[in-house]
Amino acid sequence: MKNKFEKISEILFVLPQLILYLLFTIIPFFMIIPFMLTNMVSVNSNTYSFIGLGNFKEIFGPIYLPSFTEVVSRTAIFTFFNYLTVFIFGLTLALILYEKVIRAQKAFTIVIYLPYVIAGLAAGMFIPLLFHPDTGSLNLLLEKIGLIDGPIDIRSNLATMIILPLLVGWRYAGYNMAIFLVGLSSIPIETIEAAKIDGASYFQRLIHVYLPQMVPFIMLATISCLIGSFGIFDEPVGMGGLAGNRNAQLFSLYLYRIGVSGQAKIGTFSMGMAASFIVNIPLVAIAIYLLRLQRRLQY
Amino acid sequence: MFYDNSGIRGNINKAKMRVSKTGFILLAVVYSIITLVPFYFAFVRSFVPSKEAGELHLWIPEDQEFNLDVRYGNMSVYYNMDLDKFKKDLGIEDVKYINPNLTLRQIGEKYNIPEQEIKDYMAPYYLYNGWIVILQDKRFYKALYTTFLITMISIILGGLLATATGYVLAGFKKKWHYGMYILYMLSMVVPRSLILLPLYLMVTRFLNLGNYGYLVLVLIFIQGGCLPVMIFTGYISKLPPELEESVKMDGGTRLTYYFKVLLPLCKPAFAAYAAIHIPLFWNELLMGILFLKKSQYTLAPYLQNIQGTFTTNYQAVYAALVLSLIPIIIFYLIFNNMFLKAQISGAVKG
């Protein structure tokens, strides 16, 4: 009987958090499949019926603006450039801290994480602050110095492809840097010393000694970047994504507008579910595959 | 040391090292400047009147005398002025309609208000317009207060829940322990955009919590996920099992152990959990605009609303931005030790 009491009390301890987790993460995850096969127009619709794969055909149709393909390709391009910034910012900063050439390591780390503690929305608002075609401070400054001829326009596709990834990379620099730092610390020093004795330049050391031994960590950063990039919301909103900047509408904003604004010209609720499914299921599959690969490589 | 820094080879090596060292230091300095630039400009721009936003301002502009040739109609656009209050303060509250094309100077003449009085009244609005608008906005204070409460409650409850989960799962003594751990780890690969719509459906239709915005927010925050469960399970598994046994031998239950021994012991894990999640909860935007009504907005949704409402009043938008950054930056500077330690060790476990 004591055993039974033990078991019940164990279950009671995990139950509260488990119930919440099931309700708000696991069950919604599985809810997508039944609902994407219906023609539910909005969240409040009471009449909807099974229409099979109809949504999947409609998504690619021409009626809706912005179109599904437009948003997804924009998000995919963003993800690519965002992935580059993981290394441009994260790896570079990790190397700077690892080589211990800075005396004020702590102060520098505080600066690095500063963009991470502020709201993503606030960070996103830095973009029009600096790059709005008429009033952007950095635009005006660069024009005055003579570095650029005309203002960089945040409403253009260029901005979404280049500036937004830079901003997001800057924001998550600390996060990625931490992963790479741990990776660097796990490299046996003998391999580095051996390379130094052989006269390898820093760049050669980096490519042939550091990076190959950091592969599990690179994979971890890759998975995080991949999963995060398709769900990014705050920063594009800061850029004006919900206020008319059409080029700032990445995938999450697209879903938000479908689901909550209920603007039928973008698509129905069930179409949003279908869109969610199409984009995210392959993503999750890739992520799980990479994760298992990474676990195997790490040990 | 392992390599020889004398001779020609040594000199080349030393030179190479110096170049990379200088290069790194330069990079670090440039990066630090780049990071601080947006904050600086946000601060400066919150003082720059919207009409002058098209010019470069590297510092707060000088205070200028308020130009009385501003049209009355522009007052609410550029200055978001409460026009009823304006009329009341200048003693013309009984005037129902003022032609928006009249300038302030003409209004002064028409209603016998001395020019100097209008100038004095409008004086602070040249530079401080945005700050005045936001600091007089009740919704700002409500957002601040609400965000603080929700964050605090969520951190405490979330910590309690995660400790309880970690307590049971630590050590994976039974098979289902490991299974449940993996279940929580799944949240690492679940993208937010996947959950967005079904979560909204679940909360508003099936759970019928559409009107309980604050409750929904807290519940979503405390549900846990890969990071809290990882932190506590890992930490508790390193505690000596004799502690629980000794409590049981003294006749205590699991509950006694949990409250009297485990919780006090888990302070470092809780610190790591709090350091990571306080900024996450404080800055949450999506859940806020999904489930809260405009009157209930927390800080980030409030800021987004300001951005949408005051599109032409840059001073107000950037004043709100700066004001919303202040609390979290203060928190960060005070607790940066805990925060940095949690971030770096949290990265590994992923």
Confidence of residue A265 (pLDDT cuts 50, 70, 90): low
Q: Which of B236, B103, B112 is nearest to B169 (CA)?
A: B236
- In this structure, the answer to whether residues B101 and B150 fall within a common structural domain is no
Report DSSP letters for B165-220, one per residue. HHHHHTT--SHHHHHHHHHHHGGGT--HHHHHHHHHHIIIIIS--TT-HHHHHHHH
pLDDT score at A198: 85
Beta-bridge mates of residue B71: B103
Domain count, chain B: 3
Residues recorded for chain A: 299
Report the pLDDT averaged over residues A124-151.
83
Nearest CA in chain B to A129: B42
Residue B283 lies in a domain: yes
- Residue-wise pLDDT tens digits, A24-40: 999 999 988 888 888 88
Tell me what pLDDT residue A39 has: 81
Kindly state whether residues B230 and B313 are assigned to the same domain. yes
Residue B322 and residue B267 share a domain: yes
Type and span of the H or E element at A85: helix A68-85
Of A17, A196, A288, Cβ closest to residue B161 = A17
Q: Look at residue B129 and tell me if it is in a domain.
A: no
Q: Does A126 touch chain B (CB under 8 A)?
A: yes
Residues of chain A contacting B162 with CB distance shorter than 8 Å: 17
Residue A166 is predicted with a pLDDT of 94
Q: Both B173 and B322 in a single domain?
A: yes
Same domain, B232 and B337: yes
Q: Which of A180 and B58 is assigned the larger pLDDT? A: A180
Q: Please state, in angstroms and rounded to a whole number, the distance separating the CA atoms of residues B318 and A55.
A: 42
Q: Which domain holds residue B114?
A: 74-122
pLDDT in tens, A213-263: 899 899 999 999 999 999 999 999 998 888 878 888 899 998 888 877 755
Residues B96 and B244 in one domain: no
**Lowest mean pLDDT segment, chosen from A134-138, A206-210, B298-302:** A134-138
CA angle A122, A126, A129 (to 5 degrees): 130
pTM for the whole structure: 0.89
Instruction: Report the CATH number at residue B327.
Output: 1.10.3720.10
B225–A contact, CB cutoff 8 A: yes
Tokens of B326: 């202040």
Chain B partners within 8 Å of A223 (Cβ): 188-189
Q: With contacts defined as CB-CB under 8 Å, which chain A residues touch B20? A: 99, 101, 202
What pLDDT was estimated at residue B1? 41
Mark the ranges of chain B whose per-residue pLDDT is less than 50: 1-2, 350
Average pLDDT, chain A: 86
* One domain, residues B98 and B234: no
Work out the number of other CB atoms within 10 angstroms of the CB of residue A105: 13
Q: pLDDT (tens digit, 9 = 90+) per residue, A101-111?
A: 777 888 999 99
Q: Is residue B338 part of a domain?
A: yes
Please report the pLDDT score of residue A262 as a whole number: 58
pLDDT at B154: 96
Which pLDDT value is given to residue B3?
A: 52
Q: Inform me whether the pLDDT recorded for A291 exceeds 80.
A: yes
Residues B181 and B80 in one domain: no
Q: Which fold, A62-298? A: MetI-like fold (1.10.3720)
Q: Which of residues 79-108 of A touch B (CB under 8 A)?
A: 92-93, 95-96, 99, 101-102, 106, 108
Note whether residue B60 is domain-resident.
no
- Given this model, what pLDDT does residue A205 score? 85
Residues B90 and B20 placed together within one structural domain of the fold: no
- B312 and B169: one domain? yes
Task: Give residue A89's pLDDT.
Answer: 94
